[in-house]
Amino acid sequence: MLNSLSIEVIKTKRTLVRQLLWLYPLLIIIVVTVLFATTGYAIQSVINQWSTIWFPLFLALVVGLIDRHEKNSTIYKLILSSPYNLFDYELGRILHIALLTLVSSLFLVLFVSLLYFISEISVSLISCFLAILGIWLVNLWQIPLYIWLSRLTNIYVTIVLTFAGIFSGIEVNSYFLGKIWPFTWSELFPVPLIKMNINGLPLSHNVAGSNNYLLIAAAILLFILLSYLAARSFKKQVIKNA
């Protein structure tokens, strides 16, 4: 798995994906800050929108771009000719995208830190850090799902599913049973940390936020399950097409 990870790192070395790791969060923080600078909640709005829209979309975009590059350049022939276990290879690809999105999240942490010292904010910088890293963590389960879907279809289908997940999460997050819908986890996680509701309004003092420990546990379990299923699917498809 680690060998396949190193191969994936080399393959994306001179691709657009590497540039997006820092450029994407930079553009998001600039645009959102400009739009919400006068509200006094610029940083909270950045994190809120990052969790609700921009990070899930970034996940789908990275997965789709890498998969399209793979199809256009080698059509998995390189993987077929490699001596590695195909199941482990797919796990390495999943881990690679997880690391890429973690790097992008850390860039957002850096940009938020710079903005923090020139903005008025009612929450601590540590809370902002935890919110951003937690958003990455509770979205990990989407990586194997999008890898599987993009491989079987294309980047556009993956992005359509992402938007469907975003809008469905917004619609059902306020319901009790809606909290078990995985697409709401990204939106719900930062609420108690940044003291802002999903709709962008400040969180009332008498309103309790989501249980982040349960969200993290559920997200990790789902990530493990979907990673296993995606790796099995990859192994069967590659063998079938060999």
Measure the CA–CA gap between 217 and 193, rounded to whole angstroms: 18
Q: For residue 76, what pLDDT band results from cuts at 50, 70 and 90? A: low
Query: Higher confidence at residue 189 or residue 210?
Result: 189
Q: pTM, whole model, 2 decimals? A: 0.90
Measure the CA–CA gap between 136 and 123, rounded to whole angstroms: 20
Measure the CA–CA gap between 17 and 100, rounded to whole angstroms: 9
Which candidate, 17, 158, 156, places its Cα nearest to that of 100? Answer: 17
Per-residue pLDDT of 191-233, as tens digits, reads 999 989 888 888 876 555 567 889 999 999 999 999 999 999 8
CB 49 within 8 A of CB 32: yes
Residue type at position 23:
L
Measure the CA–CA gap between 76 and 154, rounded to whole angstroms: 15
